[in-house]
């Protein structure tokens, strides 16, 4: 059974059956204003921050058939009353003749036919704007004239989304609504908690006269809420009650009489859901978007944004699924993770103090640099503001208040309050930004450290370069018994929380990779002292890793506080961890023979047809000494599940050792586009990578969850474009160093890089995986494989011949 298909020409996935195994979503807008639209039109919308300024009440744990945050009711006048239904299928669940949810780039379009009424609703947030627009068109496809009413409805949440759930007196006591009607009958129905009435109001409005409205949920559903969302009793009355709620569960419902539509005739309505300081302030833009042509124009601008965004890197490989992913879906997911970090999805609920994750966003930045380096830099700057003056960082922060915290470590008394990896990721992001743009001036920008005085002024500031040096020094000086980095509360694997004194091999390797980047940067900046110092740090750490952590066939993953290894053949459970191997290769710590042996062990012990497991065997029961990982059953999440984020790292490692066939096999087996064929097993959206897939120790092997917000997006994009196709920005230019399946004959990439377009054609006549024999740029052979920076706004032809190096 399939639930839809890819329409790459229109850059859409089209859902054709609303009863998908789990809710499938799309994102509209950005964190500044936007959120989630599900495949039956439900919406979770917020402005600036999902925890402290949420607008619609969308409860992801409710069954898929339930009303969630918003819907549209249509009602057809009949001889003895009304036929009420939702063209989004949910919540009325009427039988339909057609249902399509077009998951587009920045918009969702729902096309349906119920009772011979065809409805087409395009849902989007105009670029840089603070409103969700729903452009609704209704066509009578019957052979009879029909009298029709349209009732869009929104249910509000308290802006403090957690309080909505834990204070059921304060919230309803403060929620209020007020209606503004003009002479022509247009209505703006506003809503706010009392304390915000003069500063921050939500509104629902439309471009069609409203005959009546409702703002109280109880009245709308009727019969003391024994009326239901599937059949709201008030919709069987001619008009709603025009009640301006001064407390209670606030909604906004606007009843429009659209009149009689003749067979074949189309009528329309545009709604806007937004937030502003006041109605007066909002009015000019509200009026602007009441105009259908303006809305059409704005939709074109959105499409143009995506044209430009995607045009920065387009590929043509022999693999159709890879093309679809790299040209459309993967960049879209990277754009989404860049905006939302791990903050708001159906799985990461954006409540309380979760905020923007430091490590998460540092990695997300690397996935969008090709297309939006400026935004990447802004996010890096924001992240650096929560770095502490000792070089470590806070774990997460609220983007509205910039208040940061130490993540889950707060919940464990006596546990270290830092994570050993957080501050190192940002070095990778910064150097990636510098290589993409050449904008070295960024290194001199001064950014405060996180600590504040009583007046909330920063105690200390430093240049970006200073921030980077301090990050290195933090790890350098926080090592344990083997001289390896202390684990802190955790490293990338959030859920292995060992006693203070434990050491992390992952942090050691991430440190190694960060040092390689720092050495390269220092060399580029002409700073021989820094080169020498960091080279010494690197050499020492490499030596320690190989001395203590080689387990015979692979590298161990941790040393416990008492010095015993985890991720070793001497363990009964958790004998081998993927990250221990991939990162030893990425850091260059693993010498060639150990690299090959370790990666073969990954293939033997961890690979499955659905992806590479994080570790194996899974722990069989809760062990407080190991922490969160043992709360999961074997095969789930970090306990031996296929935690997808780790897969691109193995792919990258395989390309480093030159095994293009295996790298591509790993790449293909997790390509979500291919999951459309096994969707009953996979269940999540086939147009994005999920965070996790159940591993083969679990009876539901292959089942995906936590779609969309995963570091997999950024790393799979990097693995695909920079390591498999091998186009890597360097300080000097664009390096071409593919590592592909030997059977490939050729591939092409168009990539913009520092204000020039590189049209790259790679030929593989000898059928090698790796190795560049010659590179011609604009017809002339160059030495080496780094194509220089042109910056001339022009197109340049790059012809690459792979083969054994001459």
Query: Binding residue for ligand GLC (CB under 6 A) from 342, 542, 594, 626?
Result: 342
What stretches of 465-540 adopt beta strand conformation (E)? 503-504
CB of residue 600 vs ligand GLC: minimum separation in angstroms?
25
165: left (phi over 0), alpha (psi -120 to 50) or beta: alpha
What is the per-residue DSSP string for 604-659? HHTEETTEE-SEESPP-S--TTT-GGGGSPTTBTTBTSEEGGGHHHHHHHHHHTT-
- Subset of 363-392 contacting ligand GLC (CB under 6 A): none
Write the secondary structure of 54-97 as one string of H (helix), E (strand) and C (coil): ECECCCCCCCCCCCCCEEEEEEEEECCEEEEECCCCCCCCCCCC
Tokens representing 192 are 């706010």
String marking each residue 690-719 x if it binds ligand GLC according to CB under 6 A:
-x----------------------------
Which of residues 360 and 503 has its CB atom nearest to ligand GLC in the complex? Answer: 360
String marking each residue 664-693 x if it binds ligand GLC according to CB under 6 A:
---------------------------x--
Tokens representing 282 are 């909002």
Which of residues 580 and 771 has its CB atom nearest to ligand GLC in the complex? Answer: 580
Q: Which residues contact 65 (CB under 8 A, 6 or more apart)?
A: 90, 91, 93
Per the residue annotation, which of 135, 249, 466, 494 is the catalytic one?
A: 494
Site membership for ligand GLC, residue 408 (CB under 6 A): no
Task: Identify the H or E element spanning 350.
Answer: none
CB of residue 357 vs ligand GLC: minimum separation in angstroms?
5
Which of residues 492 and 744 has its CB atom nearest to ligand GLC in the complex? Answer: 492
Site membership for ligand GLC, residue 495 (CB under 6 A): yes
- 315 near 327, Cβ under 8 Å? yes
Which of residues 638 and 696 has its CB atom nearest to ligand GLC in the complex? Answer: 638
Region binding ligand GLC by CB under 6 A among candidate stretches 199-207, 229-237, 357-365, 409-417: 357-365
Which of residues 495 and 655 has its CB atom nearest to ligand GLC in the complex? Answer: 495
CB of residue 324 vs ligand GLC: minimum separation in angstroms?
25
CB of residue 573 vs ligand GLC: minimum separation in angstroms?
18
Which of residues 363 and 568 has its CB atom nearest to ligand GLC in the complex? Answer: 363
- Subset of 199-258 contacting ligand GLC (CB under 6 A): none
* Cα-based torsion angle of the residue sequence 487, 492, 494, 495 in order, rounded to the nearest 10 degrees: -80
Query: Binding residue for ligand GLC (CB under 6 A) from 360, 503, 551, 683?
Result: 360
Q: Is 758 helix (H, G, I), strand (E, B) or coil?
A: strand
Which of residues 538 and 619 has its CB atom nearest to ligand GLC in the complex? Answer: 619
Region binding ligand GLC by CB under 6 A among candidate stretches 120-128, 457-465, 493-501, 506-514: 493-501
CA 115 centroid distance within chain: 38
CB of residue 493 vs ligand GLC: minimum separation in angstroms?
5
The C-alpha atoms of residue 648 and residue 671 are separated, in whole angstroms, by 11
Task: Identify the H or E element spanning 668.
Answer: helix 660-669
Site membership for ligand GLC, residue 359 (CB under 6 A): yes
Residue with the two structure tokens 């806007």 = 272
CB of residue 631 vs ligand GLC: minimum separation in angstroms?
12
Which of residues 494 and 517 has its CB atom nearest to ligand GLC in the complex? Answer: 494
Region binding ligand GLC by CB under 6 A among candidate stretches 318-326, 354-362, 367-375, 578-586: 354-362
Region binding ligand GLC by CB under 6 A among candidate stretches 88-96, 277-285, 372-380, 487-495: 487-495
- Subset of 109-148 contacting ligand GLC (CB under 6 A): none
- 802 near 771, Cβ under 8 Å? yes
Region binding ligand GLC by CB under 6 A among candidate stretches 258-266, 304-312, 355-363, 423-431: 355-363
The C-alpha atoms of residue 42 and residue 153 are separated, in whole angstroms, by 11
CB of residue 589 vs ligand GLC: minimum separation in angstroms?
21
- Subset of 615-654 contacting ligand GLC (CB under 6 A): 638
CA 506 centroid distance within chain: 23
Region binding ligand GLC by CB under 6 A among candidate stretches 443-451, 492-500, 503-511, 670-678: 492-500
- Subset of 747-786 contacting ligand GLC (CB under 6 A): none
- Residue 786 has a CB neighbour count (10 Å cut-off) of 18
The C-alpha atoms of residue 303 and residue 709 are separated, in whole angstroms, by 23
Which of residues 202 and 495 has its CB atom nearest to ligand GLC in the complex? Answer: 495
CA 205 centroid distance within chain: 30
Query: Is 182 marked active-site?
Result: no
Which of residues 220 and 492 has its CB atom nearest to ligand GLC in the complex? Answer: 492
Strand partners, 749: 315, 760
3-state helix, strand, coil in the chain (%, to 5): 30, 30, 40
- Alpha-carbon distances, residue 765 vs 313, 320, 657, 736, 762 (angstroms): 24, 21, 21, 17, 10
Region binding ligand GLC by CB under 6 A among candidate stretches 127-135, 145-153, 174-182, 488-496: 488-496
Q: Please give the angle made by the CA atoms of 331, 333 and 339, to the nearest 5 degrees.
A: 105
Q: Is 437 helix (H, G, I), strand (E, B) or coil?
A: helix
Q: Which residues of 399-416 are buried (b: 16+ CB within 10 A; e: fewer)?
A: beeeebbbbbbeeeeebb
**What's the residue count for the chain?**
806
DSSP 8-class letter at 550: B
DSSP 8-class letter at 789: P
Q: Which residues contact 80 (CB under 8 A, 6 or more apart)?
A: none
Which of residues 54 and 342 has its CB atom nearest to ligand GLC in the complex? Answer: 342
Query: Binding residue for ligand GLC (CB under 6 A) from 493, 607, 718, 721?
Result: 493
CB of residue 360 vs ligand GLC: minimum separation in angstroms?
5
Q: How many residues bind ligand GLC (CB under 6 A)?
A: 10
The C-alpha atoms of residue 360 and residue 492 are separated, in whole angstroms, by 9
Query: Binding residue for ligand GLC (CB under 6 A) from 357, 376, 580, 617?
Result: 357
Tokens representing 538 are 């690197």
Minimal CB distance residue for ligand GLC: 494
Query: Binding residue for ligand GLC (CB under 6 A) from 249, 494, 551, 685?
Result: 494
Region binding ligand GLC by CB under 6 A among candidate stretches 170-178, 247-255, 356-364, 773-781: 356-364
Which of residues 492 and 717 has its CB atom nearest to ligand GLC in the complex? Answer: 492
DSSP 8-class letter at 6: E
Active-site residue list? 494
Interface contacts to ligand GLC, rule CB under 6 A: 342, 357, 359-360, 492-495, 638, 691
């Amino acid at each position: 059974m399939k639930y839809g298909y890819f329409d790459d020409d229109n850059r859409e996935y089209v859902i054709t059956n609303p009863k998908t195994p789990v809710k499938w979503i799309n994102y509209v807008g950005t964190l500044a204003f936007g959120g989630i639209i599900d495949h039956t039109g439900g919406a979770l919308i917020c402005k600036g921050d999902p925890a402290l300024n949420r607008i619609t009440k969308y409860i992801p744990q409710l069954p898929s058939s339930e009303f969630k945050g918003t819907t549209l009711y249509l009602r057809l006048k009949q001889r003895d009353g009304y036929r009420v239904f939702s063209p989004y299928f949910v919540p009325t669940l009427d039988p339909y003749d057609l249902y399509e949810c077009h998951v587009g780039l920045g918009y969702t379009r729902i096309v349906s036919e119920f009772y011979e009424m065809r409805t087409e609703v395009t849902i989007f947030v105009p670029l840089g704007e603070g409103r969700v627009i729903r452009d609704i068109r209704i066509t009578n496809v019957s052979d009879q004239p029909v009298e029709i009413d349209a009732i869009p409805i929104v249910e509000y949440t308290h802006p403090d989304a957690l309080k909505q759930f834990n204070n059921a007196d304060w919230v309803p006591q403060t929620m209020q609504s007020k209606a503004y009607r003009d002479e022509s009958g247009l209505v703006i129905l506003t809503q706010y908690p009392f304390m915000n009435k003069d500063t921050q109001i939500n509104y629902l409005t439309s471009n069609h006269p409203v005959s009546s409205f409702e703002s109280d949920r109880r009245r709308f559903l009727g019969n003391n809420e024994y009326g239901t969302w599937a059949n709201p009793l008030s919709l069987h009355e001619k008009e709603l009650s025009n009640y301006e709620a001064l407390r209670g569960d606030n909604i906004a419902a606007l009843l429009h009489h659209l009149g009689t539509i003749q067979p074949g005739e189309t009528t329309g309505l545009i709604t806007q859901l937004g937030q502003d300081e006041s109605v007066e302030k909002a009015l000019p833009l509200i009026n602007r978007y009441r105009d259908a042509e303006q809305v059409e124009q704005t939709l074109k601008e959105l499409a143009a944004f995506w044209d430009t965004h995607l045009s920065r890197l387009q590929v043509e490989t022999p693999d159709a699924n890879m093309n679809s992913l790299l040209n459309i879906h993967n960049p879209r997911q990277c754009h989404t993770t860049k905006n939302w970090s791990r903050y708001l999805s159906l799985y990461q609920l954006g409540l309380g103090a979760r905020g923007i994750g430091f490590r998460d966003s540092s990695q997300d930045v690397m996935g969008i640099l090709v297309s939006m380096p400026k935004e990447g830099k802004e996010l890096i700057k924001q992240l650096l503001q929560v770095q502490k003056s000792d070089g470590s960082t806070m774990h997460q922060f609220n983007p509205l208040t910039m208040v940061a915290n130490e993540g889950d470590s707060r919940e464990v008394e006596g546990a270290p309050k830092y994570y050993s990896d957080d501050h190192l990721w940002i070095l990778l992001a910064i150097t990636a930004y510098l290589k993409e743009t050449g904008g070295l001036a960024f290194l001199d920008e001064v950014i405060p450290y996180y600590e504040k005085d009583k007046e909330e002024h920063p105690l200390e500031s430093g240049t970006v370069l200073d921030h980077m040096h301090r990050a290195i020094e933090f790890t350098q000086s926080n090592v344990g018994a083997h001289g390896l980095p202390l684990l802190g509360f955790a490293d990338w694997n959030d859920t292995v929380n060992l006693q203070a004194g434990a050491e992390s091999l992952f942090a050691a390797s991430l440190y190694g990779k960060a040092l390689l980047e720092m050495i390269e940067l220092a060399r580029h900046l002409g700073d021989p002292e820094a080169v020498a110092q960091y080279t010494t740090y690197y050499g020492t750490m490499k030596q320690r890793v190989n001395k203590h952590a080689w387990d015979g066939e692979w590298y161990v993953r941790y040393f416990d506080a008492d010095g015993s290894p985890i991720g070793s053949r001497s363990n009964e459970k958790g004998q081998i961890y993927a990250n221990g191997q991939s990162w030893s290769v990425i850091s260059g710590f693993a010498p060639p023979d150990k690299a090959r042996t370790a990666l073969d062990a990954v293939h033997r012990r961890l690979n499955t047809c659905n992806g590479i497991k994080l570790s194996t065997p899974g722990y069989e029961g809760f062990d407080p000494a190991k922490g969160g990982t043992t709360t999961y059953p074997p095969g789930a999440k970090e306990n031996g599940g296929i935690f997808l984020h780790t897969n691109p790292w193995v792919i990258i490692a395989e390309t480093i050792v030159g095994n293009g066939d295996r790298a591509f096999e790993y790449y293909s087996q997790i390509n979500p586009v291919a999951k459309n064929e096994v969707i009953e097993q996979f269940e999540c959206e086939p147009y994005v990578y999920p965070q996790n897939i159940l591993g083969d120790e679990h009876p539901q092997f292959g089942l995906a969850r936590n779609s969309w917000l995963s570091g997999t997006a950024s790393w799979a994009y990097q693995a695909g474009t920079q390591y498999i196709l091998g186009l890597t920005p360097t300080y000097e230019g664009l390096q071409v160093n593919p590592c592909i399946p030997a059977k490939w004959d050729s591939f092409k990439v168009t990539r913009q890089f520092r204000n020039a377009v590189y049209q790259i054609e790679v030929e593989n006549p000898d059928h090698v995986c790796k190795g560049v024999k010659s590179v011609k740029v604009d017809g002339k052979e160059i030495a080496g494989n780094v194509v220089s920076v042109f910056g001339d706004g022009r197109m340049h032809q790059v012809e690459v011949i792979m083969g054994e190096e001459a």
